[in-house]
Structure 1
Amino acid sequence: MIEEGDDLNNEQEEPKETITRVTGMYKDWFLDYASYVILERAVPAIEDGFKPVQRRIMHSMKDLDDGRYNKVANIVGHTMQYHPHGDASIADAMVQIGQKDLLIDTQGNWGNILTGDSAAASRYIEARISKFGLDVVYNPKITEWQSSYDGRRKEPVNLPVKFPLLLAQGGEGIAVGLSTKILPHNFIELIDASIKHLQGKRFTILPDFPTAGIADFSNYNDGLRGGKVRVRAKISQLDKNTLTITEIPFATTTSTLIDSILKANEKGKIKVKKIEDNTAAEVEILIHLPPGLSPDKTIDALYAFTSCESSISPLGCVIEDNKPLFVGVTEMLRRSTDNTVQLLKQDLEIKLNELEEQWHFASLERIFIEKRIYRDIEEEETWEGVIKAIDKGLQPHIKHLKRTITEDDIVRLTEIRIKRISKFDIDKAQQKIDALEDQIAEVKHHLAHLIDYAIAYFKRLKKDYGEGRERKTEIRTFDDVDATKVIIRNTKLYVNREEGFIGTSLKRDEYVGDCSDIDDIIVFTKEGKMMVTKVDSKTFIGKDIIHVEVFKKKDKRTIYNLIYRDGKSGPSYIKRFAVTSITRDREYDLTNGNKGSVALYFSANPNGEAEVVTILLRQAGSIKKLKWDIDFADILIKGRVSKGNLVTKYSVKRVELKEKGVSTLKPRKIWFDDTVQRLNVDGRGDLVGEFRGEDKLLIITQSGMIKTVTPEVTMHFDDDMIVMEKWIPKKPISAIYFNGEKEMHYVKRFLIEQEGKEESFISEHSNSQLEIVSTDWKPMAEIVFAKERGKERKENLEINLEEFISIKGIAALGNQLTKDKVNQVNLLESLPYEAPEEVHADELEVFDEETIHIEKTTDSDSNIKNEKDSDSDDEGQITLF
């Protein structure tokens, strides 16, 4: 082998050798292959929205089209004349087109996009071009042709598609070095957007998936790289122990969805008793839950841990002029619409030329017959003489023609049969010419007003093919699901307080509570140290653990009350604080940091409770007062690093709990964000009210169901919810409804008798319907009567519902509204009424969240100052030392 540094010109070296670098053998092969995959296989063309295999399938179907169904196997075999690949790839591509229900009429088992079932073998299923496909895809007169791969046939370079087909069907492909993922869009919305573009208006288009579901397009980014679409299954509560999935996310199937739920159940992230899949033409998956499990939290858990929610990253990549082009869906639609306009223009120009040719020959034919020019050729003996005689005879009568006469025109005249000449009707001939002139004028008008013609074209498509193609996917903005709040607590947490260990494997030690494997645990020790760590089998924290619980991130309502001694013999301090954010596995010192510090008293209060404790001092020197009480409500809530307020400089013997406290927090404000259909405490949306621990939320639906629930941010709401407000138990609910069984309108007023129970307050008959419902103290309603035959329409009637009927039970039928036929019931502005104020026992203990500064002196040795307030829930946990 000759090295690069050898002297290749050495004449003594025999035989001479030539260096051929290996790279020269294949340096262009990979580039050629990559270009082929990009251009000929994976990425659709922007002109017609087809990949090559799809274009060849549609061309083959047109070759075979006679209005009847063809075996798919036959179409696949025919397509192989144009497509240099195997029959399986062609059949798969054809099934994908057929499942989109736009270009192909299918017959037989073409699979199910909902369940993921595959289509039957191509020899068993049939297909033909749909009417829509015939209308918008083909026109051989304006199609550019090229030779097929073997040169035996002609195939289209691009099909003259007069519709944004790529956006309607979507497209996905992986090439070499790039990929494409164009999501499907709604048929009607694409047409409306095309019309807006032609009108010079702005438009927005968003995907619409054949599997329906719910989608958040807030980060769609016009379908460009970097965008993201979140899609969710539609899950509703069938009853307290059953959830039903009726729509699934795009790119999933019922099988994969159920598998993901079963896997989450096996891992303990959710709890499911049984799953039933009743999917056929429509999705129906029933999820049976164990008793006592919250359906709302389970719905969120399904979104957090299963394929019920998934994320799709679009990537708009198409082929233009044999090059990849990254472009957004808005620009795709503009280009497609502009291309459609040009194709329509070419159609019109071809049609105009054809009509003018028809008019030209019809006019020549009339002159030829009406002026009896055919007699001029009787004496001619040669073909040239015949042509000249006819040409000479026509000349005096052709001044009105739009072009010169050619020899081909004269030849066509000679081909007219004698029978036709003998039966020639001048009037009918003129009518035909007039009709052609009208058509020519119409086509010229369309060309002169091309945009208006294109708009009318799109409107016709919408009218002819838009029925049943309304949007399927619901557009909604999602809240992120916090996995730590909805995961099922699937393991048990234990603590060895003396040795300082926590974990899930310490089963011989003290049981703390249930937790999940993704939870964080907050731990406090007697030395005044705090740490937050992730759940593990066994973790060392520090000796003498005094409190352990699952840590809630950003929790402003859990307040920790602490009294500690600073150092071995230093003064004692009192403090209240919340822990909202930390660095995991970092030790925090809650004392002043001096060696020998110790916690004398500690309590964790999920609802910000402030108890009263008794301080007992050791007998020493001249101390006069050895015992006094401290109320934590007098201490302001500050950060965990605060030193706290001085309790005493003397040695504390012990601290005793004297009286459990009540919450010092202001009632929690709850808002409802209509955009995401969720409650929140962050101030987003409309304020529902201020809620204490016992307060409930009143919910009424259009179907006549009513219930009271404890407000939680994990709650889900039905689509037909019409009332959601803070429930006032003594405030009556008024309703007017149509009783389907008695076929009359009734009025009723009632109070909710059983908290937490969902009940129907109208008749359960299928024709029963709720007209109006009001939670005002003195509601007013207007009755609009229907006009009966032979009678004058009664004047509208206003009624005071409070005076009309007294308060009865929720199950009562109510009073009949009227015997006359009612056309409509309207809710009017209620009468003024001053509602009684609600009084709560703890109101005197409630401090504003911005809080008040209070000074309180309990002893000359103890000077206590208030700190700062915050929010919380539930009863406190207390530890004494």
Structure 2
Amino acid sequence: MSDIEDKYANAPEADVKSDTAILGLSNANHLEKLYDGWFLDYASYVILDRAVPYFEDGLKPVQRRILHTLSEMNNGHLIKVANVVGATMRYHPHGDSSIYTALVGLGQKDLLIDTQGNWGNPLTGDGAAAGRYIEGRLSQFAQEILFNPETTEWIPNYDGTRKEPVTLPAKFPLLLAQGVDGIAVGLSTYILPHNFNELCEASVAYLKGKKFTLYPDFFTGGTIDVSHYDDGARGGKIKVRAKIEVQDAKTLVISEIPYGTTTGSLIESIVAANDKGKIKIKRVDDDTAQNVEIVIHLLPGSEPQKMIEALYAFTDCEKSLSPCTCVIIDKKPCFTTTSELLKLSVDHTKHLLKWELENDLKHSQEKWHATSLEKIFIEKEVYEVMKKAKDHDEMIQLIDEGLKPFTKKLRREVTTEDIEKLVALPMSKIARFNRKKADELLKSLDDHIAEIHANLENIIDYTVAHFKNIQKKYGAGRERKTQIAEFGKVDAVHVAMANQKFYVNRKEGFIGTDLKKEEYLFDVSEYDDIIVFKNDGSYKIVKVSAKDFVGKDIVLVEKFNKDDERRIYNVIYQDGKDGPALIKRFNVGGITRNKDYPMGKGKPGTKILYISSNANGEAGTVKVVLKPRPRVKLNFEVDFSEVEIKGRNAVGNIVTKYPVRSIKKVSDGESTLGAKIFYFDAISGIVSTQKKGDRIGAFEDEEKLISIRNNGMAKLHEMKDPILVGTDILYLGKYDPKRVFTVLYFEGENFNYMVKRFTLETCPTTTEFNILSDHPDTKMIEFFSTEDARVTMDYQSGHKVEQEELDLTELAEIKTYKALGSKFTAKKVKRFTRIKGAAHEEESSVHSDSESPDLFG
């Protein structure tokens, strides 16, 4: 016990209270309340004044102060960033480093600031030059939509020497255009950038009462899956992928990267995945200059399409982003959605435009009043009464009396301030007065006032015109860069490298990758599942690991796929210690990992007499040898094809009730399942038998699948399960070497439109090949796999655009896929349009029969 505890152990309560006061312990509650207050103040400050933007202008305070300073310094010329940073410090008390970083970030968004010099490269992550070397100024767009002193609320700056805006009067959904992220106390915000033109169009749609949908758009390009975007609400997410293309069989090129990465960080993730053995590449080069170009050199024998999927699975070539739309509304942080944020911004824009119109109306009316009063003052020679006045007050009175007969048509009363302005008119202006010009000015003011009234009465149409004008003036060159597509999650099992050797100690019951002195089985990846059958009839599923005890006396170990419905296990087992021999055929399907499942009823003494794993449901024949016994046939054959396939929990049928000495395989047999029915899942790019996606037909083992991608690359596939063909598929069907294909394409090398008709009789059987030319500018226009191959061609003829119908089957002879084809026109083609005839309609549907299983065409 401490000295203090000992002192108060048996002390009277009064003494304790007295001594606690002496020790200062009575201040504990006061300190706690003080701490709570300070922390709340700090949290409120960070949320409202540092991390979370206001919905009105979409800016954090440091950004707002930078733009306000640029507006103050704006003279049309570029300004040194160092000077901007220094001037901004009059408003922002947090140091020059934070100002410089925020200023560079604004400049890199290429919207509000015109830049000159090295402002860094957000694609590569390279930083900007020092502030003394780079320059910037407000863009014309920023000047038009962000500043108006009359519609700005002002507050004193941090030291009270100047005034700064609470928010800038932004007449555009700037927050959604630029995006923002910030971490405050207890909350964060992460709003993704959206497309400039789409924001304008959505604003117009909202004002007209129409529905609209907004999705993110990134300057880095790439592809996004917005299936779970949930309108940018907290809890939603999107997946964004790099753009990876096959340059040739040994080279991949990344030309667009996911938002939130740089070329440097992306390459680091690729190298890390290679070092961990998740992918295997030769090397990766960064050839990025103005545009992204990351070149990945593959090892000999690599499958380019499978490597692309592996890059998505194991590197930052695919990233998941979780938006959280939190903004300051009415000086409180609020969680909202992208659509609601746009509506708030558009309503705020409408309010600002109305405010500007009302201010303009006020100024125009004042100018009309002043001009009318000057006209009366000069035309009616009221100024002559000034000669009779003895003092200033009498002069004001005389002028007021002189004006009264002529002021009935004025729109408000004449004030002393109005008369003071008349008195201040120089004589030269009175002498040069031009009645015609004054009437013209009054007429133009009347027209302008009428126009303002009309705009105020039709404020929605006026706001619509504002957004259309903004898009017309500044929307050029701001087309969507990020493609929207749906792509499923890449299953790591399908693309992972089998880079580890797997071993088993059957007697002791251990399996794993570290048992290098034991029996080698096969190569595995870390994502594989393993099924283990033991002599006692039990079986279980486990993940690949370094060393795992699964139970003694292992009889069968192999890789396991819960979706593989065609893998059938043929088993004969003894049901209990003295029980009969039973036979069963079953598929395991989905079961819980690390749980033992019994064979049959799991009686004590059960043991497996024979087991085989059959990838395609093969049903072989075995020879059963019994132990010697009087008047009993000692051996006979059992044909598994006569046994029905049932569920894994089925007990099975009796083979014999006598003790079995041995069972030996006689023949492998054939599949009892018939031809495999394959399906294509367009989202994941996988062909399998798992009934995911569209059916493409029934295939025998010796038949092959042909896939042709949008870029003209084609490949023959063995009918293994699953097959990774990719998501950019143009044609998918059963390989027929005599089938004739027709292609209309643009040949990049000779700059001509070409038609070719060909078969694939001589195509490679194991590697990818190109049905077009290898020139990088070559592009597919139309592809036909039927006899009907017709298009219409629009072409320029003088000042007119004329149209011609073409039957492509008449324009080229049938040759091999390597032939370039025939040049068929020298006309200035505007466009080609496919004619969808009956044959095309049949071809483009999904077939369920094995004779015509084409999926696309």
- The letter of the residue matching 1:130 is S
> How far does residue 629 in structure 1 lie from its aligned partner after superposition?
3.1
> How far does residue 655 in structure 1 lie from its aligned partner after superposition?
2.4
Residue 723 in structure 1 maps to residue 759 in structure 2: no
- The letter of the residue matching 2:488 is D
Query: CA 1:515–1:771 in structure 2 vs 1: closer, same or farther (change >3 Å)?
Result: closer
Asked if the contact 1:264–1:270 (Cα under 8 Å) also holds between the matched residues in 2, the reply is yes
* Post-superposition CA distance 1:383-406 (Å, at most 9, x none): 223223322222222211111111
Question: CA separation in 2, counterparts of 1:476 and 1:215?
Answer: 6
Residue 774 in structure 1 maps to residue 784 in structure 2: yes
> How far does residue 501 in structure 1 lie from its aligned partner after superposition?
2.5
Question: CA separation in 2, counterparts of 1:256 and 1:94?
Answer: 23
Aligned partner of 2:418 in structure 1 is: 409
Question: CA separation in 2, counterparts of 1:225 and 1:828?
Answer: 45
Aligned partner of 2:855 in structure 1 is: none
> How far does residue 350 in structure 1 lie from its aligned partner after superposition?
0.5
- The letter of the residue matching 2:337 is G
* Post-superposition CA distance 1:495-536 (Å, at most 9, x none): 222333322222222210111234332122233232222333
Asked if the contact 1:734–1:750 (Cα under 8 Å) also holds between the matched residues in 2, the reply is no
Aligned partner of 1:538 in structure 2 is: 547
Aligned partner of 1:838 in structure 2 is: none
1:698 equivalent among 690, 696, 706: 706
Helix, strand or coil at the partner of 2:616: coil
- The letter of the residue matching 2:57 is D
Aligned partner of 2:846 in structure 1 is: none
1:578 equivalent among 580, 587, 592: 587
Question: CA separation in 1, counterparts of 2:20 and 2:284?
Answer: 83
Query: CA 1:384–1:105 in structure 2 vs 1: closer, same or farther (change >3 Å)?
Result: same
| Cα RMSD after superposing both structures | 3.5
Residue 257 in structure 1 maps to residue 254 in structure 2: no
> How far does residue 217 in structure 1 lie from its aligned partner after superposition?
2.0
Asked if the contact 1:772–1:827 (Cα under 8 Å) also holds between the matched residues in 2, the reply is no
Helix, strand or coil at the partner of 1:392: helix
> How far does residue 677 in structure 1 lie from its aligned partner after superposition?
5.3
Query: CA 1:673–1:443 in structure 2 vs 1: closer, same or farther (change >3 Å)?
Result: farther
- The letter of the residue matching 2:319 is S
Asked if the contact 1:783–1:797 (Cα under 8 Å) also holds between the matched residues in 2, the reply is yes
> How far does residue 611 in structure 1 lie from its aligned partner after superposition?
1.5
Question: CA separation in 2, counterparts of 1:248 and 1:738?
Answer: 28
> How far does residue 439 in structure 1 lie from its aligned partner after superposition?
0.9
> How far does residue 19 in structure 1 lie from its aligned partner after superposition?
5.1
Helix, strand or coil at the partner of 1:734: strand
2:309 equivalent among 287, 300, 316: 300
Helix, strand or coil at the partner of 1:211: coil
Residue pairs, 1:364-763, within 5 angstroms: 364-623=373-632, 625-674=633-682, 679=687, 681-701=689-709, 704-710=712-718, 715-717=724-726, 719=728, 721-736=729-744, 741=750, 746=755, 748-754=757-763, 755-762=765-772
- The letter of the residue matching 2:663 is V
Unaligned runs of 5+ in 1: 836-842, 844-881
Query: CA 1:710–1:389 in structure 2 vs 1: closer, same or farther (change >3 Å)?
Result: farther
Helix, strand or coil at the partner of 2:376: helix
Asked if the contact 1:341–1:450 (Cα under 8 Å) also holds between the matched residues in 2, the reply is yes
Give the TM-score of the pair, scaled to structure 1.
0.87
Query: CA 1:45–1:742 in structure 2 vs 1: closer, same or farther (change >3 Å)?
Result: closer
> How far does residue 713 in structure 1 lie from its aligned partner after superposition?
5.1
> How far does residue 820 in structure 1 lie from its aligned partner after superposition?
9.4
Query: CA 1:194–1:767 in structure 2 vs 1: closer, same or farther (change >3 Å)?
Result: closer
Helix, strand or coil at the partner of 1:90: helix
> How far does residue 830 in structure 1 lie from its aligned partner after superposition?
6.2
Query: CA 1:634–1:56 in structure 2 vs 1: closer, same or farther (change >3 Å)?
Result: same
- Whose RCO is larger (CA < 8 A, sep 6+)? 1
> How far does residue 448 in structure 1 lie from its aligned partner after superposition?
0.7
2:817 equivalent among 810, 813, 826: 810
Query: CA 1:692–1:244 in structure 2 vs 1: closer, same or farther (change >3 Å)?
Result: farther
* Residue range with higher mean Cα deviation, 658-667 or 359-368: 658-667
Asked if the contact 1:696–1:709 (Cα under 8 Å) also holds between the matched residues in 2, the reply is yes
> How far does residue 799 in structure 1 lie from its aligned partner after superposition?
7.5
Aligned partner of 1:850 in structure 2 is: none
Helix, strand or coil at the partner of 2:341: helix
Helix, strand or coil at the partner of 2:541: strand
> How far does residue 767 in structure 1 lie from its aligned partner after superposition?
7.8
- The letter of the residue matching 1:600 is L
Query: CA 1:524–1:54 in structure 2 vs 1: closer, same or farther (change >3 Å)?
Result: same
* Residue range with higher mean Cα deviation, 519-528 or 430-439: 519-528
> How far does residue 258 in structure 1 lie from its aligned partner after superposition?
1.6
Aligned partner of 2:853 in structure 1 is: none
Asked if the contact 1:783–1:822 (Cα under 8 Å) also holds between the matched residues in 2, the reply is no
Helix, strand or coil at the partner of 1:594: coil
* Post-superposition CA distance 1:637-659 (Å, at most 9, x none): 22222111122223334323222
- The letter of the residue matching 2:418 is D
Question: CA separation in 1, counterparts of 2:139 and 2:295?
Answer: 36
Aligned partner of 2:101 in structure 1 is: 92
Helix, strand or coil at the partner of 1:151: coil
Question: CA separation in 1, counterparts of 2:411 and 2:310?
Answer: 76
> How far does residue 201 in structure 1 lie from its aligned partner after superposition?
1.7
Asked if the contact 1:532–1:583 (Cα under 8 Å) also holds between the matched residues in 2, the reply is yes
Aligned partner of 1:867 in structure 2 is: none
Residue pairs, 1:288-367, within 5 angstroms: 288-367=297-376
Question: CA separation in 2, counterparts of 1:46 and 1:208?
Answer: 20
* Residue range with higher mean Cα deviation, 53-62 or 303-312: 303-312
Aligned partner of 1:39 in structure 2 is: 48
* Residue range with higher mean Cα deviation, 813-822 or 354-363: 813-822
Asked if the contact 1:237–1:243 (Cα under 8 Å) also holds between the matched residues in 2, the reply is yes
> How far does residue 145 in structure 1 lie from its aligned partner after superposition?
0.9
Helix, strand or coil at the partner of 1:658: strand
- The letter of the residue matching 1:639 is G
Asked if the contact 2:179–2:193 (Cα under 8 Å) also holds between the matched residues in 1, the reply is yes
> How far does residue 437 in structure 1 lie from its aligned partner after superposition?
0.9
> How far does residue 345 in structure 1 lie from its aligned partner after superposition?
0.2
1:236 equivalent among 224, 245, 248: 245
Asked if the contact 1:219–1:228 (Cα under 8 Å) also holds between the matched residues in 2, the reply is yes
Question: CA separation in 1, counterparts of 2:517 and 2:25?
Answer: 81
Unaligned runs of 5+ in 2: 844-849, 851-857
> How far does residue 552 in structure 1 lie from its aligned partner after superposition?
2.0
> How far does residue 742 in structure 1 lie from its aligned partner after superposition?
9.4
Greater per-residue helix proportion: 2
What is the count of residue pairs matched by the alignment?
A: 831
Residue pairs, 1:180-195, within 5 angstroms: 180-195=189-204
* Post-superposition CA distance 1:731-757 (Å, at most 9, x none): 222345567749575553434312344
Helix, strand or coil at the partner of 2:352: helix
Asked if the contact 2:708–2:730 (Cα under 8 Å) also holds between the matched residues in 1, the reply is yes
Question: CA separation in 1, counterparts of 2:18 and 2:796?
Answer: 119
Question: CA separation in 2, counterparts of 1:826 and 1:15?
Answer: 95
- Percent of aligned positions that are identical: 46
> How far does residue 9 in structure 1 lie from its aligned partner after superposition?
13
Question: CA separation in 2, counterparts of 1:322 and 1:76?
Answer: 27
Query: CA 1:57–1:716 in structure 2 vs 1: closer, same or farther (change >3 Å)?
Result: farther
* Residue range with higher mean Cα deviation, 51-60 or 645-654: 645-654
Asked if the contact 1:235–1:246 (Cα under 8 Å) also holds between the matched residues in 2, the reply is yes
- The letter of the residue matching 1:221 is D
Question: CA separation in 2, counterparts of 1:65 and 1:822?
Answer: 48
Query: CA 1:299–1:524 in structure 2 vs 1: closer, same or farther (change >3 Å)?
Result: same
> How far does residue 344 in structure 1 lie from its aligned partner after superposition?
0.1
> How far does residue 670 in structure 1 lie from its aligned partner after superposition?
3.2
